[in-house]
Every structure is written in C-alpha cells, then in structure tokens.
Amino acid sequence: MVHTFKCGAPVLDFIGTLRARRNAVPTEMLISPESLEAWFRESGLVDANTPCEASDLEHAVALREAVYRLVVATLNGDDYGAEALAVVNGTARTPSAVPQLVQRGDRRVEATPQQALSSIARQAVELLGGPEAALLKECSRGECTQVYLDRSHGSRREWCAMDPCGNRIKAAAYRARKRTGARAVTPERSSR
C-alpha cells in the first residue's frame, strides 16, 4: 500500500496526500495518474482500477487543495473562500461513484475519475456541513499537517496517529525529561 489512511474519513486522508505542508519541500503523494488510481483503490472508494490521465490528476490536486482550505477555515473559525467553495461544490454536483450488487450479493464500486472525485467532494460537504466538523483537529506534531477526526473519549487525541507522530512526540518528551533530570543531578554532584 502506497498511501496511508489514519484520519478517520477518506476525504481527510485525501487532503493528507500532501504531507508536511509547512516544510520547505512538502511530500507530495499524488505524483502521477497511477498514484491517484492507487489512492482511489486503496481508500476503498472504488474496487476496480480507475484509469486516470494527467488532467484527472490536476483536477484531483485542485480539489484536494480546495477542501484543505475549507478545512483550515473551519479549524480557524473563518469564512470559506469563494474559489474553494466553487471547486468543491462544482465537483460535488457531478455524478458520484455508485455501488452495484454483483453475484451472490457482493458489493462492487466502479467509477470514472470524475465520479470518484465527486464522491470525495460530497464527503467534504457532508463532513464540513455536519456535526463531525466539530471533531476536526490538526496533528500537534509541528512538522505534520494531517487533519483528523478526534473521536477519542474526552477529545484528548493529539496526533493524527501514534505511528509516526505520537511516537516521535513521546520520544522527544522522554529525551527532554532525561536531559532535565541529568542537569538536575549534575549540580548536586558538583557541590559535594
């Protein structure tokens, strides 16, 4: 599996395909039409290959960035930008992926890239226009910009996922405590 799915909603995992947004060189996961095809399949949005072209990738990145701007506005309590709204709403208006029943009651979803992107846009509308918008949080590890749904008891989740973000923060806190403890012991030894 090329992509990660840890944010609690496929649309949030989709905007997480551009990682470490604040870094000088963020990590882009949608680097080719094939990587977009892989994301559609790995996310469970579709069950079959969805052949994508360069224009589909461009539309996907534009949608991702528009959704991200709306999510950030939600987190900050700001109004939505007209351009981001137009991209998300315009994409949501097109037909989305439709599940079908196949032999023996199995469910299968096949979609064009446009239908798959419409499904993502509709998820964004449902999330941002619904009660779960209040559960949105950004990972507290400074280098990470993943946004996730905090469904934890008491809303105390701090990281997008334990691996790697939670582990890195906990390890850094442990090292800081060890350094502080070592400094506190050192002056006592020197006074003896």
Q: Let me know if residue 187 belongs to a domain.
A: no
| Residue-level pLDDT at 186 | 60
Q: Let me know if residue 175 belongs to a domain.
A: no
Q: What is the CATH number of the domain that holds 105?
A: 1.10.3300.10
C-alpha 23/C-alpha 144 separation (Å) is 9
Do residues 150 and 138 lie in contact, with contact meaning Cβ atoms separated by under 8 Å? no
Model's pTM, two decimal places? 0.83
Domain span at residue 15 reads 10-160
Q: What are phi and psi of 14, to 5 degrees?
A: -65, -45
Q: Let me know if residue 55 belongs to a domain.
A: yes
Coil, helix or strand at residue 45: coil
User: Average pLDDT of each block of 10 consecutive residues along the chain (192 residues)?
Assistant: 83 94 92 97 93 98 98 97 98 95 89 97 98 92 84 75 60 66 60 51
Contacts 24+ apart (CB under 8 A), 122-128: 122/92, 122/96, 123/9, 123/10, 123/11, 124/11, 124/67, 124/70, 124/88, 124/92, 125/88, 125/89, 125/92, 127/9, 127/11, 127/12, 128/70, 128/71, 128/74
Q: Let me know if residue 170 belongs to a domain.
A: no
Do residues 44 and 91 lie in contact, with contact meaning Cβ atoms separated by under 8 Å? no
| Residue-level pLDDT at 181 | 66
C-alpha 77/C-alpha 22 separation (Å) is 20
| Residue-level pLDDT at 167 | 58
Q: Let me know if residue 32 belongs to a domain.
A: yes
Q: What are phi and psi of 101, to 5 degrees?
A: -90, 140
Q: Let me know if residue 176 belongs to a domain.
A: no
Nearest in space to 123 (alpha carbons), one of 63, 69, 182? 63
Q: Let me know if residue 181 belongs to a domain.
A: no
Do residues 149 and 8 lie in contact, with contact meaning Cβ atoms separated by under 8 Å? yes
What is the total count of domains within the chain? 1
Do residues 153 and 92 lie in contact, with contact meaning Cβ atoms separated by under 8 Å? no
Q: Let me know if residue 29 belongs to a domain.
A: yes
Cis bond before residue 164 (omega within 30° of 0): yes
C-alpha 148/C-alpha 44 separation (Å) is 18
Residues 6+ apart with CB under 8 A from 148: 6, 7, 8, 12, 136, 137, 138, 139, 157, 160, 161
